[in-house]
Structure 1
Amino acid sequence: MRFEAAILDLDGTLLDSMDVWEQIDIMFLQKRGLPVPENYVTEICARSFEEAAQYTIDLFGLTEKVDDMVREWNEMAVYEYARHVKLVPYAREYLKMLKESGIKLAVATGLPEKLFVPCLENNSVLGLFDALCSTDEVVRGKEFPDVFELAARRLEVAPDRCLVFDDVLPAVRSAKQAGMLVCGVYDKYSAHHQTEIEKISDRYIKDFTEAPLPGWEI
């Protein structure tokens, strides 16, 4: 099976941004005198902002409203994404190679548009993408296939011809549930799930120098 489209996650996959979120999470919880639980960042990164806020409220028994928490996170993140967050090594070269080879490109992310569009623009890759999809546009987060299915529809490519790149286990699972090819991507925050991700994925890479080339067949 050859792929005609690549659907790519951002945080931890295309963007070297997980440390930014770790710092935001630490600052957010420290303001409330709360510790950062082990695997907290991994638990929330596959969820939409609203789902992550509700998870945090439930985890700590907070009385704050979801909308207020999302607003605070956004305010903390907007500056960093627009100016400081960079692509992971070799990502730009890989995207350009795919585009030049006629492969359609889409983003499928849990980030809101106000964060990822300025970031992709600042990294000079926004124009490479044929579709930009966020979990803000669907009912459920990336532990369900909704955002991947949305990307396939916008690209007008059959799911089984789409290759999804993601670094977290719930998203890898849901992309497979959507009938798509999956390339698992190493990220230190998901290293404890690496064995499971490798088992589910059609390909697993440490960085984009190992990514499948156009014409790749399983």
Structure 2
Amino acid sequence: MRMKRTFDAVIFDLDGTLIDSMWVWSKIDEAYLGRYGLEVEDSFEAELEGKSFTETAVYVKERFQISESVEEIKAEWNKMAAEFYQTQVPLKKHVREFLEFVETQGLKMGIATSNSQELVAIVLEAHDIREKFQVICTSCEVERGKPYPYVYQKVAQDLEVAPERCLAFEDVPNGVLAAKRAGMTICAIRDCQTVDMEKVLRQEADYFVEDYKQILDYYKNDYKKSYA
């Protein structure tokens, strides 16, 4: 993975990729649907994989015949998740060091997420990394969410970088497929909430890493070999 020579930009998914937040949504789903006397089925999270914030609200409204409007559902989810994202959602291990490393390589950075702009802003400000990213785009701002490529295409366009010059980081198969359809190189990263998907991620992504330290160590060792 020759980052400086091969890529001009690095694009990240947010949840499960930059931040350890996938656990939040199972709690919110349980609490929100519980208000209507509904239980979260085992297949529920898989059915939502890759959908935009708006697409998810539409799906939940139609499937469970929720009386609230789509905008009211989204507002409630933002409200429920805000405190988690402000105070309880950490960065994934070694993310900060990796972002700093990417900066030293002179590469642009962007975020292509299925989450809402409101929650993206909260968590990036909480960890003081907002300035690292030149472009942030959500799937709500494009035609359709992942696995369609539109959000990745939009971020690349806004960064003014050709998709084939972008390295995308993802943690779920639909995200990998979206970046692949956009013409990008994909590095899948392990997330403890999606370990059951690991086999597929290893098959579909160009690279698979346990965490960002694995990449940093690779470059440190490569640098040492170059000057040995």
TM-score scaled to structure 2, two decimals?
0.87
Q: Does 1:193 align with 2:194?
A: no
Q: Which residue of 2 aligns with 1:51?
A: 55
Matched residues in 2 for 1:131 and 1:64: separation?
A: 32
Per-residue deviation, residues 134-161 of structure 1 (Å, max 9, x unmatched) = 1121121122111100111111111011
Is contact 2:167–2:184 with CA below 8 Å preserved after alignment?
A: yes
Q: Which residue of 2 aligns with 1:101?
A: 105
Q: Which residue of 1 aligns with 2:225?
A: none
Q: Which of 20, 26, 46 is the aligned partner of 1:22? A: 26
Residue 111 of structure 1: how far off its partner (Å): 1.5
1:211 partner SS: helix
Mark the runs of 5 or more structure 1 residues left unpaired by the alignment: none
The number of aligned residues is 215
**1:1-218 alignment runs, 5 A limit:** 2-211=6-215
1:108 partner SS: strand
Instruction: Give the aligned residue type for 1:113.
Output: Q
Per-residue deviation, residues 57-96 of structure 1 (Å, max 9, x unmatched) = 3433444432221121111112221233220111111011
Matched residues in 2 for 1:62 and 1:122: separation?
A: 32
Q: Which moved more, 1:141-150 or 1:38-47?
A: 38-47
Matched residues in 1 for 2:47 and 2:214: separation?
A: 27
Instruction: Give the aligned residue type for 1:169.
Output: P
Instruction: Give the aligned residue type for 1:41.
Output: E
Which structure's residues are more often helix, by fraction?
2
Q: Which residue of 1 aligns with 2:226?
A: none
Is contact 1:110–1:136 with CA below 8 Å preserved after alignment?
A: yes
Aligned-pair Cα RMSD in Å: 1.9
Greater C-alpha radius of gyration: 2
Residue 13 of structure 1: how far off its partner (Å): 0.7
Sequence identity (%): 36
Is contact 2:23–2:193 with CA below 8 Å preserved after alignment?
A: no
Residue 171 of structure 1: how far off its partner (Å): 1.2
TM-score scaled to structure 1, two decimals?
0.91
Matched residues in 1 for 2:192 and 2:65: separation?
A: 28
Matched residues in 1 for 2:75 and 2:122: separation?
A: 17
Matched residues in 2 for 1:123 and 1:145: separation?
A: 28
